[in-house]
Structure 1
C-alpha cells in the first residue's frame, strides 16, 4: 500500500476521531453540568438521582457502555448510527466525571458570595447561573482539560464496536497488509499531537481566566 493511500485513510479516521471528541465533550459538559446541579440541589430526589447517575456510570467500563449503546439501544427501539451511538456513550460516561469535577469547583466558591446572592433575593437557580457556576467553571478549566484528554484516548475503544475512527482505520490498514509498526506509530503520533495540543490550549485558557478572577 502506497503512502498517499495510507495517509488518506488515516486522515479520514483522524477527522472522525476529532468529530467524536468534539461532540462527546460538549455533550459531557451539558450532561455533567445538569447532573452536578442535581447533586447540589436542595431537593432530595434530585440529589439522589445525581448520586445514582454518577455512581452507576463510574462503575461501568467505557467499552461496556459503548457496546450497550451500539448493540443494546436497537433492542428498545432506538436505532442510531455507530457514530451517534459512540458519541452518546462517551458523553454519558464523561458526563459523570464532569459532574464530580464541577462539583469540586462549586465547593471552591466562597460561601460568602453564595450568602450575598441569597441576601439579594436570588433564587437557587439564579445563584447557580449568575454566581456559582461561572466561578466553578473558571476554577476547573485545567481539570476539564484532563477530562477532554480522557475523551480523546477513550475514542480508541470505539473501534471495538465498529465506529470508523482513527484506531479502526489503523486496524483496517493492518488487515489490508500495511506495516503495523508504521500505521500504529502514525496513529500514536496523531493521538499525542491532539493530547499535547489540547493540554496547551486548556492551559492558555486557564491562565487567561485566572487573570480575570
Structure 2
C-alpha cells in the first residue's frame, strides 16, 4: 500500500470523529440560533420602531462589514481583557451565530418584503391579526423562496467552521493540524481534510436540490388546484 494512502486511512478516523463531535454540532447549533436571530432582526427592520430599526441596521452593518475571523478573535481573545472568559466552543458558537444572524436577516427580510401587499390585505379581510397573517399566509410563501439562499448559507457555514480552529476548537481542521504536527505531511493531510469538507458540501447540495424540486412540485400542485 502506498505511504500516502496508508497515512490517509490512519488519519481518516480522527478527522471524521472531530467532524462528528465538533464540526457538525457547531454547524447545526450556529445555523439554528443564527436563523432565529436573523428572523427577529428582519422583523425588527421591517416592522419595528425607529430605534429598533436603527439598532438592527447597525448590527447587520457591523457584522457584514468585518471578517468572521476577526469577530471570533474579538470574542475569544478580546473579551477576557474586560473580564468575560469563554471556553472555545461557546465562543465559536456565539461568533458563528452572530455572523449567521446578520446574513440570514437580509435573506429573510428580502423574501418577506417580496410577498405582495395583497396577501396581507386578503388575510386582514378574513379577520386575521397581523401575527396570524404573518404566520399563516406570508411565512409559508416566503419559506419557499428562502430555501435556496438559506441552504447556500448553511453549506458555506459548514466550511466556515474550519475557522474555529483559530480559537482552539478541536474540530475537523484543527484535528488535521494536529496530525500534520506529528506526521509532517501537510499536503496529504490537508488534501484529505479538504476532501471531507467537499463530501459534506456535496451531500448537502444534493439534499438542497431534492428539497427545491419537492417545493417546486408542491407549489405547482397548489397553483393547479387554485
- Tell me the TM-score normalized by structure 2: 0.86
Change (3 A) 1:29 1:42: closer
Residue 191 of structure 1, aligned match among 189, 197, 217: 197
Distance in 2 (CA, whole Å) between partners of 1:35 and 1:137 is 16
Q: Measure, in 1, the Cα distance between the counterparts of 2:165 and 2:34.
A: 20
Provide the C-alpha distance between the structure 2 equivalents of 1:3 and 1:212, rounded to a whole number of angstroms: 44
Q: Which residue of structure 2 lines up, in the alignment, with residue 206 of structure 1?
A: 212
- The number of residues matched between the two structures is 213
Alpha-carbon shift at residue 86 of structure 1 (Å)? 0.5
* Distance change (3 Å), C-alpha of 1:42 and 1:88: closer
Q: 1:107, CA displacement in angstroms?
A: 2.5
Mapped pair 1:14 → 2:19: yes
Q: Are 1:142 and 2:144 matched, yes or no? A: no
Say if 2:8 and 2:188, in contact at 8 Å, map to a contact too: no
Q: Match for residue 127 of structure 1?
A: 133
Q: Flag structure 1 segments of 5+ consecutive residues without an equivalent.
A: none
Q: Deviations 1:155-204 (Å, cap 9, x if unpaired)? A: 11111111111111111111112421221111011100111111111221
Displacement of 1:77 in angstroms is: 4.5
Provide the C-alpha distance between the structure 2 equivalents of 1:111 and 1:181, rounded to a whole number of angstroms: 55
Shift of 1:209: 2.0
Secondary structure of 1:175's partner? helix
8 A contact 2:45–2:52 mirrored in 1:
yes
> Which residue is 1:84 aligned to?
90
CA RMSD of aligned residues (A): 1.9
Please, which moves more after superposition, 192-201 or 42-51?
Answer: 42-51
Question: C-alpha separation between the residues in 1 aligned to 2:179 and 2:201?
Answer: 23
Max Rg structure: 2
Segment of structure 1 superposing worse, 26-35 or 106-115: 106-115
2:223 corresponds in structure 1 to none
Which runs of no fewer than 5 residues in structure 2 stay unpaired? 1-5, 220-226
Once the two structures are overlaid, the 10-residue window that deviates more, 90-99 or 127-136, is: 127-136
2:178 to 172, 187, 194: 172
Is 1:117 the counterpart of 2:123? The answer is yes
What is the TM-score normalised by the length of structure 1? 0.91
Q: Secondary structure at the match of 1:60?
A: coil
Q: More deviation in 42-51 or 27-36?
A: 42-51
Residues in 1 aligned to 2:141 and 2:177: alpha-carbon distance in whole angstroms = 43
Shift of 1:127: 2.3
Matched-pair contact (CA < 8 Å) for 2:107–2:146: yes
